[in-house]
Amino acid sequence: MKVYDVVPGLEFDPERDFAQSPAWFLDGTHSVPPWTPMFGWFWINFCRHGMQYGAEKLSLPTVKGWDWRFHNGGGYLTLMLVNSEEEKKARETEFRKAILPFIEDYDGLWGGFVQEMLGRYENLKALDLPEASNIDLLQNFEDTISTCRRMWEIHMYMMYGTYTAYILFENMCRDLAGIDDTSPEFHSLVSGFDNKVFQVDRRLWEFSKRAREEGLADLVVQCGPDQIRGKLEESVAGKGFMRDFMAFMNEDGWRMQRMSEINLPTWVEDPTPALVNVKQFIQKGGGFNLDEERKKITEQRKAAEKTVLAKIPQEQRGWFERLMVLAQKSGVFSEEHDHYLDLYTHAMMRRSALGLGNRFAQKGAIDRAEDIFFLIPDEVRRAGLNPDQFDLRYIVDRRKSEWNEWQKTPNPPAFLKEGFDLEMAMGVLVRSMDPIALKVVVGSMPQVRPELKADLYGTCGSPGVAEGTARVIMSEEELHLIEEGDILVAASTSPSWTPVFSMIKGVIVDRGASLSHAAIVGREYGIPVVMNVFEGTTKIKSGQKVKVDANLGVVFILDK
């Protein structure tokens, strides 16, 4: 029998796909290292659907969302532009109406979606997987598929609408108040807001205080990451601590260790990453006060709001202030959507797939429960109701060996048609006016200013200057290597990295824009972030002393 493609219909095919678009970009933030087949299937199908759904629902005047292809575990994407002026005009008229709900009742809109998704998650979690019938397990999996599809619709509709407001605010700040998004004042304006991700961090910090109070601190600090839980379970106080900690995990731990993959345990299954965060907070010492740190940022923001509003002509202040409030919600949305949408849905995908995986393994369709991540939904369905009748190991084996090959050779950053270069491709993205392209994917291009004699030139994600030891971190598994006062160097960061921001003095990322994770979180923790240096992770070595000047957008390597 023929083995299917990983994502049937959406595998990258140079001959056909270059005819559609000359440039396909690797989604380096989410698909490096390469995805497992099942996760790739979900992402390519539904992120693609969501982006087109969001653009269509809002009737974005210039773009129709993005198209996606799968290649060796990587996701490649390209913009779909509106080509005729006539169509642009028609879409503008629709857009003017479609964007109103964002302006008029942002919180109602976002809050409603959060409730809808939480309801779906509760329904999915209600099934007792080990006890469930094959019929119920398969149904749960089908429901998970439709939940993931719905999640991406909400995700991209919200993201397009939210970021449109943010970009307008940036433009207006520049035009009316003379400040742009590389200025520290601008960053103060959009930081100092609480959100769900910070609340989780705050709980972790509180657990670190509790560990200190209950005399568990030394034990936690002396353990390696994998031993913390076991050592704690040995004492009475530690048992009580772990019981409450696991209750917290069951509430807020429905998230993946790696944001966009399902082959690593959730915090609920394995709380090690969360315990490492607790350990890191303990190492910061008793003088550290997360609340105080956050309060300072909030006060700075309020001061910046006053200064900026004073620069706006009186008669323009009304709408400008409303726009500012709306733009300020962008940062909150950027962080919260990861928690309520991506991370939670992925945790549900893992849960449901493993439910079937365990059943398949018991019945002999596959060897191990985790092997299910090497199947795609159609293959899962084949054996869904009668796993004892099917042997899917030949598919798993083939896919696994392919997947192992993918890990060895990195996917190229872009597929470009002959005669088309990266600069031209970037130009298309910028001219598209696609809010996601501008604020997450591309960002601003750094200006090289030789007179500064810097080693790397980037853009300001969060203002400030810092000096410290560089720590190059390539994946979530290396996060525990970070020490107090380090300067984090990474390709990019994601929500599972948030807790380490309270330990580090600065951030250097290869790629990023003013609404990418590193910038938002850097601003909230008041540390400098330089983005879009492109070669940070290749030029800087762990242990080197570096100086980050985010105000100028540059990095100096002090001991070359």
Partner 1 sequence: MSKKWLYWFEELNSGHYELVGKKCANLGEMTGLGMRIPPGFAVSVDGYERFMAETGAGELIRQFVRENSDELKSVKKQMEASRVIRKIVESQEMPPDMTEELYRYYDELKQRAAADEIAVAVRSSGAVSMPGQMETYLNVRGREAVVRKVIEVWGSAFTTRAIAFRIEKGMAMEKAPIGVAVLKMVEAKSAGVVLTVLPTIGDTSKIVVEGNWGLGESVVSGDINPDQFIVDKQSGCVECTVNRKTKMIVYKDSGTATADVPEDLQSRRCVDEEELKEIVRIATEVESYFQCPQDMEWVLDHSGSCPHNLYWVQARPAKFSKPMEKESEYLAELMTRMFKC
* Residues binding partner 1 (CB under 8 A): 60-62, 88, 92, 95-97, 99-100, 103-108, 111, 164-165, 167-168, 171-172, 193-196, 199, 298, 302, 318-319, 321-323, 325-326, 431, 433
Assess contact for 549 and 557: CB atoms under 8 A: no
Nearer to partner 1, 110 or 141 (CB): 110
Measured from the CB atom, is 62 or 272 closer to partner 1?
62
H helices, E strands: number in the chain: 22, 12
Of 221 and 430, nearer to partner 1 (C-beta) is 430
In terms of C-beta density within 10 A (0-12 exposed, 13-18 middle, 19 or more buried), how is residue 45 classed? buried
**Cβ neighbours of residue 206 under 8 Å, at least 6 residues apart?**
none
Rounded-to-integer distance, Cα 331 and Cα 195, Å: 9
* CB of residue 271 to partner 1, shortest distance in Å: 24
Is-contact 466 547, C-beta < 8 A?
yes
Q: In the complex, what is the shortest distance from the CB of residue 91 to partner 1, in angstroms, rounded to a whole number?
A: 9
To partner 1, the closest distance from the beta carbon of 257 in angstroms equals 25
Instruction: Pick the closest to residue 60 from 4, 102, 110 (CA basis).
Output: 102
Question: Which DSSP state fits 446?
Answer: P
At which residue do the structure tokens 């400098």 appear? 528
Among residues 148 and 200, whose Cβ is nearest to partner 1? 200
The span from the CA of 229 to the CA of 244, in Å, is 13
Minimum CB distance to partner 1, residue 427 (Å): 13
Helix (H, G, I), strand (E, B) or coil at 526: coil
Nearer to partner 1, 95 or 534 (CB): 95
Q: Which residue lies nearer to partner 1 by CB, 19 or 430?
A: 430
Q: How far is the CB of 16 from partner 1 (least distance, A)?
A: 29
Q: Nearer to partner 1 by C-beta: 237 or 433? A: 433
Please give the torsion angle defined by the CA atoms of residues 387, 391, 396 and 399, in that order, rounded to the nearest 10 degrees. -120
Angstrom distances, CA of residue 311 to CA of 175, 177, 187, 326, 551:
11, 6, 17, 19, 22
Task: Show the tokens assigned to 340.
Answer: 């309520």
In the bound complex, what is the minimum distance in angstroms from residue 172's beta carbon to partner 1?
8
**Amino acid at site 484:** E
Nearest CA-CA partner of 225 in 262, 186, 170, 278: 278
Closest separation in Å from C-beta 248 to partner 1: 17
Three-class secondary structure of residue 159 per DSSP? helix
Instruction: Please list, in sequence order, all residues whose beta carbon lies within 8 angstroms of the beta carbon of residue 141, skipping any fewer than 6 positions away.
Output: 352, 353, 355, 356, 377, 380, 384
Nearer to partner 1 by Cβ, of 114 and 129: the residue is 114
Please identify, using beta-carbon distances, which residue of 15 and 292 lies nearer to partner 1. Answer: 292
Which tokens hold the place of 412? 């190229």
Beta carbon nearer to partner 1, 171 or 386: 171
**Token code pair at residue 417:** 């048609």
Q: Which is nearer to partner 1, 8 or 318 (CB)?
A: 318
Least distance from partner 1 to the Cβ atom of residue 414, Å: 24
Indicate the SS3 state at residue 274. Answer: helix
Nearer to partner 1, 239 or 431 (CB): 431
Q: Which amino acid is at 514?
A: S
Residue with tokens 């750094």: 446
DSSP, collapsed to helix, strand or coil, labels residue 311 as helix
Collapsing DSSP states into helix, strand and coil, what is residue 21? coil
CB of 88 to partner 1, least distance (A): 8
Q: Shortest approach of partner 1 to residue 105 CB, angstroms? A: 8
Query: What gap in Å lies between CA 470 and CA 480, rounded to an integer?
Result: 14
CA 460/CA 473 separation, integer angstroms? 20
Q: How far is the CB of 193 from partner 1 (least distance, A)?
A: 7
Q: Name the 3-class secondary structure at 428.
A: helix
Structure tokens at 530: 């330089």
